[in-house]
């Protein structure tokens, strides 16, 4: 029997991973370890919380002794590590918390796994430590074309499908790390520790770097849920800079499927990039969100376009992210399943249908954070 410790399982991506594993693998025991920071919410997991193969443990990944005890008590055979501070704007205001959780927390988990697994007769055999990272560690890409063609231009993904790109370079697994924000610097540092634990001690590690996720249960400080909620309440939509920055968007359930596949079939010590070949300028997404939300609310088309409000840019704002996920497609056969317009429709509908969830997570401390964050822009 496998016992999988999933960290950060009460957060956005983690809750989708926990749900997938609890439902898909009734023979596994799934332990969700989460500190329940502002971003963790057990109501993300109501539907599976009483499943017989599931246990929630409130714990800080930085608490090495407690994590080690939990691993010993539960005979943990695999770790899927998602717990992190994840929001770039917060990292600009409070970098220490990001270094503590993302760097020291990851180190504490690595060391606990090493100590526990090395104490067993079979040591690392049948064990896996899977670290979830981000494409932001690679830095930012240009939006240029050698022949001066105006972006976006059409390129071809490995599947043969055409897609639009805003530049000719992409994040590949062999690119050197060039993080710009305190968030991505902390994630980059944690990735280095994970690889160091493989190279130094033989810990069976895997790292993946994924692009921007969207979908249900995302905390509404991130672009898509924040803007859907603001459109609904006819509040201004704070667009950083000129809205020209490009992100590569992936539906969160497609990421969870990739995690499942890589956890089971990925090669130890490898890195896989995960992305949707789905580049969008922020301003185009924002227009799509307004059109979709207005339509689903029965408002006249484009009624809320005037909510767009250009505000001071994010410090060090990365221009473009675009993942080359051909290695994952080639080696493990993974493909994103949803077209963006369909994913956005599903996502807007989910947030409109789940106003109670939104009200719950945006009450109290969040309200103060939100006011403080946008007051100076």
Positions annotated as catalytic residues are 135-136, 183
Choose from ligand DAU, ligand NAD, none: what does 39 bind? Cβ within 5-8 Å by kind. Answer: ligand NAD
Residue nearest to ligand DAU (CB): 134
Which of the choices ligand NAD, ligand DAU, none does residue 31 contact, using the CB cut-off of 5 to 8 A by kind? Answer: none
Q: Which stretches of the chain bind ligand NAD, using CB under 6 A?
A: 7-8, 10-14, 34-37, 39-40, 60-62, 82-86, 101, 105, 132, 134, 187, 210, 212-213, 219
Q: Is the peptide bond before 103 cis (omega within 30 degrees of 0)?
A: no
Q: Which residues contact 35 (CB under 8 A, 6 or more apart)?
A: 58, 59, 60, 61, 83
Choose the contact partner of 256 out of ligand DAU, ligand NAD, none; CB within 5 to 8 A by kind.
none
Cβ closest to ligand NAD, residue 257 vs residue 307: 257
Q: How far is CA 107 from CA 9, 69, 194, 270, 357, in A?
A: 18, 16, 8, 19, 33
Contact criterion met (CB below 8 Å) for 37 and 30: no
Q: Does 194 bind ligand DAU (CB under 6 A)?
A: no
**Chosen from ligand NAD, ligand DAU, none, partner binding at 238 (C-beta under 5 to 8 Å by type):** ligand DAU
Q: Is 223 in the site for ligand DAU (CB under 6 A)?
A: yes
Closest CB to ligand DAU among 53 and 292?
A: 292
Q: Which residue in 16, 35, 87, 232 binds ligand DAU (CB under 6 A)?
A: 87
- Interacting partner of 82 out of ligand DAU, ligand NAD, none (Cβ under 5 to 8 A depending on kind): ligand NAD
Q: Are 245 and 281 in contact (CB under 8 A)?
A: yes
What's the burial of 376, exposed, middle or buried (CB within 10 Å: 0-12/13-18/19+)? exposed
**Long-range Cβ contacts of 310-314 (<8 Å, 24+ apart):** 310/239, 310/241, 310/242, 310/243, 311/238, 311/239, 311/240, 311/374, 311/377, 312/240, 312/241, 312/376, 312/377, 313/240, 313/241, 314/88, 314/89, 314/92, 314/240, 314/241
Residue 53 or 91: the one with the smaller Cβ distance to ligand NAD is: 91
Task: Give the shortest CB-118-to-ligand NAD separation in angstroms.
Answer: 23
Residues in contact with ligand DAU by the rule CB under 6 A = 86-88, 134-136, 211-212, 222-223, 226, 238-240, 245, 247, 282, 314, 321
């Amino acid at each position: 029997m496998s016992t999988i410790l999933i960290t950060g399982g009460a957060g956005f991506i983690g809750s989708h991973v926990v749900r997938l594993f609890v439902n898909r693998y009734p023979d596994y025991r799934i332990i969700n370890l989460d500190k329940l920071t502002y971003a963790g919410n057990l109501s993300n997991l109501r539907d599976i919380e009483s499943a017989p193969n599931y246990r929630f443990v409130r714990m800080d990944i930085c608490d090495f002794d407690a994590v080690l005890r939990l691993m010993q008590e539960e005979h943990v055979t695999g770790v899927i590590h998602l717990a992190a501070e994840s929001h770039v704007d917060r990292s600009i205001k409070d970098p220490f918390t990001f270094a503590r959780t993302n760097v020291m927390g990851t180190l504490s988990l690595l060391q606990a796994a090493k100590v526990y697994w090395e104490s067993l007769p079979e040591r690392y055999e049948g064990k896996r430590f899977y670290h979830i990272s981000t494409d932001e560690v690679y830095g930012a890409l240009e939006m240029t074309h050698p022949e001066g063609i105006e972006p976006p231009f059409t390129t071809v993904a490995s599947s043969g499908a055409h897609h639009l790109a805003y530049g000719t370079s992409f994040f590949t697994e062999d690119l050197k790390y060039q993080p710009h924000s305190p968030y991505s610097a902390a994630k980059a540092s944690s990735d280095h520790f994970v690889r160091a634990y493989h190279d130094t001690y033989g810990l069976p590690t895997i790292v993946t770097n994924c692009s921007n996720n969207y979908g249900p249960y995302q905390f509404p400080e991130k672009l898509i849920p924040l803007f859907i909620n603001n459109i609904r309440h006819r509040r201004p939509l704070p667009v950083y800079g000129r809205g020209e920055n490009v992100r590569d968007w992936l539906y969160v359930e497609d990421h969870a499927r990739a995690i499942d596949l890589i956890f089971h079939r990925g090669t130890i010590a490898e890195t896989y990039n995960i992305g949707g070949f789905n580049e969008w300028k922020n301003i185009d997404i924002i227009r799509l969100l307004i059109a979709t939300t207005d339509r689903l609310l029965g408002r006249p088309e484009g009624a809320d376009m005037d909510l767009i409000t250009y505000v001071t840019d994010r410090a060090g704002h990365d221009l473009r992210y675009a993942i080359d996920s051909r290695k994952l497609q080639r080696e493990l056969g993974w493909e994103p399943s949803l077209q963006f317009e369909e994913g956005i429709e599903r996502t807007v509908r989910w947030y409109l249908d789940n106003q109670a969830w939104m009200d719950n997570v945006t009450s109290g401390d969040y309200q103060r954070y939100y006011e403080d964050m946008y007051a100076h822009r």
